[in-house]
Structure 1
Amino acid sequence: MDIPRIFNVTESAHRIHNPFTPEKLATLGAALRLEPETRVLDLGSGSGEMLCTWARDHRIGGTGIDKSQLFTEQAKLRAKELGVADRVEFIHGDAAGYVADEKVGVAACVGATWIGGGVAGTIALLAQSLHTGGIILIGEPYWLRLPPTEDIAKGCLAGSISDFLMLPGLLASFHTLGYDVVEMVLADQDGWDRYEAAKWLTMRRWLDANPGDDLAKDIRAQLSSEPERYAAYTREYLGWGVFALMAR
């Protein structure tokens, strides 16, 4: 079980697999007013930076599930590096359908809502692991401005314009599902640049080290096209944020 290899290559040097900077991640942790010993479930936990830094800074505990074997191993190493391996655990597995054995205070899916087939399904899945009065965290893209054509939406790596909402519409959709939005932290342009541009150096160094690899042609094509695509489309049209929800 693993994610497509190309993602393990392009994001192998990332600690955060979304457009958040470490400062934004810290802002989110502080905004949630986390109490020590709060249990956090993170579906699609990537390299574990959220759980590990919050365990260090707020003394929470938690479990992360991720389908990438590489990212899961990186998360375990990060937990040891920060001295929190006794507080957090990381499981290599499919987070789709995962429900915690014991209820948690925060249930999160930060940037991987395909796990539940979309936002509504992911919220329903997370709710199964949540204490009454707990907080759900959803990380999701939204349109900064509506793309004028479907081709521009596809340039942002969306399937169509309808894949994402404008920010007011996204917030309204949470209300429709029966949740209050109690906090949000939004990525900024620097966060997007750090997430996307960091891939380019990783790809170039990987190509230099693996010229004969079967994946080299695909990596070369991506490196040749991604800077321009990102600058023309994603950077101009797409936002991203983490939204804290509580059931009404």
Structure 2
Amino acid sequence: MDLPRSFVIREGDLRILNPFDAGKLATLGRALKLRPGTSILDLCSGKGELLCTWARDHAVVGTGVDISTAFTEAARARAVELGVAERVRFVHGDAASYVPDEPVDVAACVGATWIGGGVAGTLEILQRGLRPGGIALVGEPYWRIDPPDQTTVEGCHAATREDFRDLPGLVRLFGDQGWDLVEMVLADQDSWDRYAAAHWLNLRRWLDANPGDPLAGELRQELTEDPLRHVRYEREYLGWGVFALIRR
């Protein structure tokens, strides 16, 4: 059970594996008014930056779960680097089926709602590990601008326009599922650029060092096509944010 190797190559030395930068991640932690000892479950925790930096800055405790062995190892190393290894732990496993031993104060799935087949299913997964009155964190794309055609939809990594909602539609969905939206921090075009462009440099350096690798052709094509796709479609039409929710 693991992610394809291309994911590890593409993310390279990135610590935040979504269109947030360190400032926005810190803003979210402050906005949630985290107290020392707050317990957090981070599903699809990636390289652990959310848990590790919030443990350092707010003295939270928690567990991260991710399917990637490489990302889990990087998260454990980051915890040691920041001196928070006694506060947080990282588990290699299937986030969709993981249930904590005790309910937590905050349950997060930031940028991976595919584990529940979408927002509604992911909220059900988060709720089963959440204490009454606890906060669910969901990271999710939304349409900034209504896509004019199918080419634009596919340029934003969607199969159909209905794969994403606009921001009002996403907020309405939270309410329809029985949750109050209590905070949100949104990515902007610059943080999209930082995330996307970092992939291009990672891919180019890997290709230069591994020209004969079986993945080289696939990743060469990605590097050729992705910059134009990003500036033409993704940065203009697709937004992304993390939304804090409390069950009604």
Under a length normalisation based on structure 1, what TM-score does the superposition of the two structures give? 0.99
Alignment deviations for residues 121-161 of structure 1 (CA, whole Å, 9 cap, x no partner) = 00001000001110000000000011011221001111111
Structure 1 residue 177 corresponds to structure 2 residue 177: yes
Aligned match of 2:227? 227
Aligned match of 2:6? 6
What pairs with 1:102-113 in structure 2 (closer than 5 Å)? 102-113=102-113
Q: Is the 8 A contact 1:99 1:126 kept in 2?
A: no
Give, in whole Å, the separation in 2 of the partners of 1:236 and 1:219.
Answer: 24
Aligned match of 1:88? 88
Give, in whole Å, the separation in 2 of the partners of 1:237 and 1:181.
Answer: 23
Aligned match of 1:194? 194
Q: Percent identity?
A: 62
What pairs with 1:141-180 in structure 2 (closer than 5 Å)? 141-180=141-180
Q: Is the 8 A contact 1:12 1:71 kept in 2?
A: no
Q: Is the 8 A contact 1:62 1:88 kept in 2?
A: yes
1:12: how far off?
Answer: 2.1
Aligned match of 2:123? 123
Give, in whole Å, the separation in 2 of the partners of 1:211 and 1:94.
Answer: 33
Q: CA-atom RMSD, angstroms?
A: 0.6
1:93: how far off?
Answer: 1.0
**Structure 1 residue ranges without an equivalent (≥5):** none
In structure 2, the residue corresponding to 1:146 is in which secondary structure? coil
In structure 1, the residue corresponding to 2:131 is in which secondary structure? strand
Q: Which moved further from structure 2: 9-18 or 133-142?
A: 9-18
Letter of the structure 2 residue corresponding to residue 65 of structure 1: V
Give, in whole Å, the separation in 1 of the partners of 2:233 and 2:210.
Answer: 30
Letter of the structure 2 residue corresponding to residue 206 of structure 1: W
In structure 2, the residue corresponding to 1:96 is in which secondary structure? helix
Letter of the structure 2 residue corresponding to residue 200 of structure 1: W
Where does structure 1 differ by over 3 angstroms across 4 or more consecutive aligned residues?
Answer: none
| Total equivalences in the alignment | 248
Aligned match of 1:68? 68
Give, in whole Å, the separation in 2 of the partners of 1:165 and 1:186.
Answer: 15
Under a length normalisation based on structure 2, what TM-score does the superposition of the two structures give? 0.99
Q: Is the 8 A contact 1:182 1:245 kept in 2?
A: yes
Alignment deviations for residues 63-90 of structure 1 (CA, whole Å, 9 cap, x no partner) = 0001111111110110000000000001
